[in-house]
């Protein structure tokens, strides 16, 4: 059975697409059969697997039209030379919001994405499906959350990045309660980390301590700041292409290994304890906990 993992963060610009696409690539190198679905209209995840036929294809089929007309993900899968199959983004993904609002108010309308991706082909051909999403949370994202087994929140090691962490977790907890979902929070992963920055060190210590008390995990592996991430984006290829020897790729592989522990488990029926987001409080609490000083210019 294919496990679905969604990467979320209401705060844009935290490297969510780079992390999700890179983890997909790392899992593929570990032997997993991986499908990457890009549900962010910016298409940054798609671009990291940017072969010409993916980014510039004139194929009339688009993800939003396929969903609207009750098609399935099977119609949209593109094989790449990187070992990860891709369902590319579309700049018209926002059109789904109007379509969704025309549906009745029954909670059954939140099952559309599950129907879209829950196919015999997906279950037989893939071990894991990685889903990249837009920063803004709306009912479309709630429907995607409802279809998934796990979620991961990438964030930077600063108070501003963590500001929406509480709201993001609460949204997923609400979906679990209201739609009887069993989605599980795999944890937060710190991205673009600078070990020589005392602010980053203090933030990491604070959020790990809060996580222990609040019942959520911060992955042991942190992803260091690296120019290789920007280079990969410009070159439209995974970080591992030309950067497989770099610390950033080694750390992404470590993140993938942590995630893979959960993917190997077939027992998902027991729902985890809810996250106590009250302990996250707000931005000022993070500032106070970390005793942050202004960071130097990067």
Question: 278 pLDDT exceeds 50?
Answer: yes
Query: Quick check: 236 pLDDT over 90?
Result: no
Question: Rounded mean pLDDT of 105-134?
Answer: 92
Mean pLDDT of the chain: 85
Band the pLDDT of 298: cuts 50, 70, 90. Answer: very low
Residue 295 lies in a domain: no
State the residue range of the domain holding 224: 3-290
- Number of domains making up the chain: 1
pTM of the model: 0.90
**Per the domain annotation, does 233 fall within a domain?**
yes
3-state secondary structure the chain: CCEEEEECCCCCCCCHHHHHHHHHHHHHHCCCCEEEEEECCCCHHHHCCCCHHHHCCCCCCCHHHHHHCCCCHHHHCECCCCCEEEECCCCCCCHHHHHHHHCCCCHHHHHHHHHHHCCHHHHHHCCEEEEEECCCCCHHHHHHHHHCCEEEEEEECCHHHHCCHHHHHHHHHHHHHHCCCCCEEEEEEEECECCCCHHHHHHHHHHHHHHHHHCCCECCCCCECCHHHHHHHHHCCCCHHHHCCCHHHHHHHHHHHHHHHHHCCCCCCCCCCCCCHHHCCCHHHHHHHHCCCCCCCC
211-224 tens-digit pLDDT? 888 889 999 999 99
Residue 298 belongs to some domain of the structure: no
For the stretch 24-55, pLDDT in tens is 999 999 999 999 999 999 898 988 987 555 55
Tell me whether residue 198 is in a domain.
yes
* Domain containing residue 152: CATH number: 3.40.50.300
**Is 230 part of any domain?**
yes
């Amino acid at each position: 059975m294919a496990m679905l993992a969604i990467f979320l963060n209401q705060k844009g610009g935290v490297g969510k697409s780079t992390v999700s696409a890179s983890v997909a690539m790392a899992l593929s190198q570990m032997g997993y059969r991986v499908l990457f679905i890009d549900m962010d209209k910016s298409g940054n995840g798609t671009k990291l697997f940017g072969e010409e036929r993916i980014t510039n294809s004139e194929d009339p089929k688009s993800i939003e039209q396929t969903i609207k007309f009750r098609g399935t993900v099977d119609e949209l899968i593109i094989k790449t030379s990187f070992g990860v199959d891709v369902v590319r983004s579309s700049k018209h993904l926002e059109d789904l919001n109007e379509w969704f609002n025309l549906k009745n108010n029954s909670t059954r309308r939140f099952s559309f994405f599950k129907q879209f991706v829950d196919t015999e082909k997906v279950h037989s051909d893939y071990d894991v499906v990685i889903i990249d999403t837009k920063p803004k949370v709306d009912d479309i994202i709630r429907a995607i959350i409802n279809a998934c087994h796990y979620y991961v929140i990438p964030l930077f090691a600063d108070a501003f990045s963590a500001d929406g962490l509480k709201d993001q977790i609460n949204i997923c907890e609400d979906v679990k309660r209201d739609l009887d979902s069993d989605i599980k929070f795999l944890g937060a992963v710190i991205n673009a980390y600078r070990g020589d920055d005392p602010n980053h060190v203090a933030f990491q210590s604070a959020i790990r301590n809060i996580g222990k008390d609040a019942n959520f995990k911060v992955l042991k592996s942190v992803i260091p700041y690296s120019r290789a991430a920007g280079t990969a984006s410009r070159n439209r290829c995974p970080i591992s292409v030309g950067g497989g020897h770099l610390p950033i790729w080694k750390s992404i592989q470590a993140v993938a290994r942590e995630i893979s522990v959960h993917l190997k488990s077939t027992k998902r029926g027991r729902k985890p304890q809810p996250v106590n987001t009250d302990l996250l409080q707000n931005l000022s609490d993070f500032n106070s906990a970390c005793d942050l000083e202004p960071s130097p210019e990067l």
